[in-house]
Amino acid sequence: MKVNTETVATREVVLTIEPDAKTIEDAMRRTARQISRVRPVPGFRPGRAPYAMVERMFGREVILNQALDVMAPDIYRQALKEAEIEAYSQGQIEVETEDPVVLKVNVSLAPTVELGDYSELSIEPEPEVAITDEQVEEEIEAVRRRHAEYTPVERPLQMDDHAVLDIKGVSGEEEIVNQERVTVNVTEEMMPPGFGEALVGMSVDESREFTLSYPEEFEDEELAGREVDYEVTLHTVREVELPDVDDDLAKMAGDYDTLDELREALTERLTQRLEAERRQRETEAAVEALLSVVTVEYPQAALEDEIDRIMQNQAGRLQSMGLNFQSYLNMVGQTIETFRDSVRPSAEQSLIERLALLEYAEAEGIEIADAELQGEVGRALSNRLAMQASPQIDETIDEMRKDGTMRLIYADVLVRKAAQHLVANFAGREEELAELSESAESETAEDEEQAAEGEVVGEPTSDSAVEESAVPADEEQPEADAEA
């Protein structure tokens, strides 16, 4: 077999394959016998007709294509071996010429990650979360707002009222906002600064025009520093009656008997949220630092798979809320194609970060114990079973193995653990690094003990499975193109 390789794009090549002529001839003769068994040639017993007669009757092209259908997987594997390349996903073999037989196949190559020297990299640790009384009072105020009563009034709009408005805003020739009958709480915190104050004193059915500017440091870069001309029409004014801050408010808010219980719960909830935000900021800083010494190359197919992943996650979230993905796209005025285009930049960044963290995990020898997978596998299994009319656990687990779900779950868990390790490493938290290592060793020892007792605790995963799960596609047998 002769194999030539031509690079056509980043991590994408075209293989030109010229199989051994004798191998092709033998395969075609076997195929001709098989054809004549199914469709006997008149005057000959099934499978006994001379090759030349079968070829005249059915055509060389038919015999060749059927032979290639059978040979394609072996030809493809041998070509990859001879070219010394690792495929990301299976390609489709096409017949370039029939005599001699020359085949071509476009192959997406596995992504490559070159991890530079990160030993001197570091990040500034975020300060520990400390909850103030003022923050808790803000949470209490939010609870009061959620349980407020709104009473329509026949007076001019005041600060802290509830208002129903039409809002139009333009900056130059660009329309910034155009909302009808939007409900707002009129406060001094409304953006841009001065918006709430500009509404005070309006009467029902009154329209008012004013111009305001967004701060230069506004979080939305497209609006930062811009001057906007607003036209606002007031439809309804409601006076807000907030409940008193007492034990009755606690009972309204949930399963709390006293205001102190509510404060404690809100403090804990706020601490968890701010801690998660702190960790997220540290993770973003650590990953950004890592990417400064990483070079990643990947085929277009890997990016398309990452977009598929985002779409599947979005569809899953919508389904949990009782919404259909296509219906959602219709509601927001998008198609599958425009949705894919809209998430492409974030998908590309996500793919690069994911590949970099997997390479970091390998460099640091980070491993996942079966016990760490149980929760994720259980959640994925529950979601699958919930979507089935007649749930079958064993069959669903087999499907998850075959369709690559198990490998993807493993990769997700490994990426998260690598990110935790990376943050602890770059932030100089030696104790946290030690805890991560001790936890992994402890869980691995427990897994080995349970395995020795014959208890299966998770999906066994090899190193190669980890690499495949970074990028993906489940392997399918390549097929020869039916048309020359």
CA 130 – CA 180 distance, rounded (Å): 41
Each residue of 336-354: pLDDT tens digit?
Answer: 999 999 999 999 999 999 9
The CATH number of the structural domain formed by 2-109 is: 3.30.70.1050
pLDDT at 263: 96
Q: Which of 107, 123, 122, 118 is nearest to 17 (CA)?
A: 107
Containing 402, the helix (H) or strand (E) segment is: helix 393-402
More confident residue, 288 or 464: 288
Each residue of 367-389: pLDDT tens digit?
Answer: 888 888 888 888 778 777 776 76
Under 8 Å between Cβ of 356 and 296? yes
pLDDT at 349: 96
Each residue of 22-78: pLDDT tens digit?
Answer: 999 999 999 999 999 999 988 898 989 999 999 999 999 999 999 999 999 999 999
Non-local CB neighbours of 7 within 8 Å, separated by 6+ positions: 13
Q: What is the mean pLDDT of residues 429-447?
A: 72
Q: Taking the mean position of all CA atoms in its chain, how far away is CA 227?
A: 36
pLDDT at 397: 82
Q: What is the mean pLDDT of residues 280-285?
A: 96
More confident residue, 125 or 450: 125
CA 107 – CA 91 distance, rounded (Å): 5
Residue 458: pLDDT above 60?
Answer: no
Each residue of 266-276: pLDDT tens digit?
Answer: 999 999 999 99
Name the token pair of 5.
């390789």
CA 89 – CA 308 distance, rounded (Å): 15
The beta-carbon contacts of 58-63 under 8 Å, at least 24 apart in sequence, are 58/32, 60/28, 60/98, 61/98, 61/484, 62/35, 63/28, 63/31, 63/32, 63/35
pLDDT at 484: 30
Q: What is the mean pLDDT of residues 277-283?
A: 96
Q: Residue ranges per domain, the chain? A: 2-109, 149-241, 276-470
Is 149-241 a domain of CATH 3.10.50.40?
yes
Each residue of 80-126: pLDDT tens digit?
Answer: 999 999 999 888 889 999 889 999 999 999 999 999 999 999 999 99
Each residue of 158-215: pLDDT tens digit?
Answer: 999 999 999 999 998 899 999 999 999 999 999 999 999 999 999 999 999 999 999 9
First and final C-alpha spacing in the chain: 19
373 φ/ψ sector (left φ>0, alpha ψ -120 to 50, else beta): alpha
CA 113 – CA 303 distance, rounded (Å): 15
When mean pLDDT is compared across 214-228, 302-316, 399-413, 455-469, the lowest value belongs to 455-469
When mean pLDDT is compared across 343-347, 376-380, 448-452, 463-467, the lowest value belongs to 463-467
Q: What is the mean pLDDT of residues 318-325?
A: 84
**Each residue of 253-292: b (16+ CB within 10 Å) or e?**
beebeebebbbebbeeebeeeeeeeeeeebbebbbebbee
> Is residue 309 packed enough to be buried (19+ CB in 10 Å), middle (13-18) or exposed (0-12)?
middle
Give 475's pLDDT tier (boundaries 50, 70, 90): very low
**Fold held by 276-470:** Trigger factor, domain 2 (1.10.3120)
pLDDT at 445: 55
pLDDT at 119: 93
pLDDT at 376: 80
Residue 104: how many other CB atoms lie within 10 Å = 18
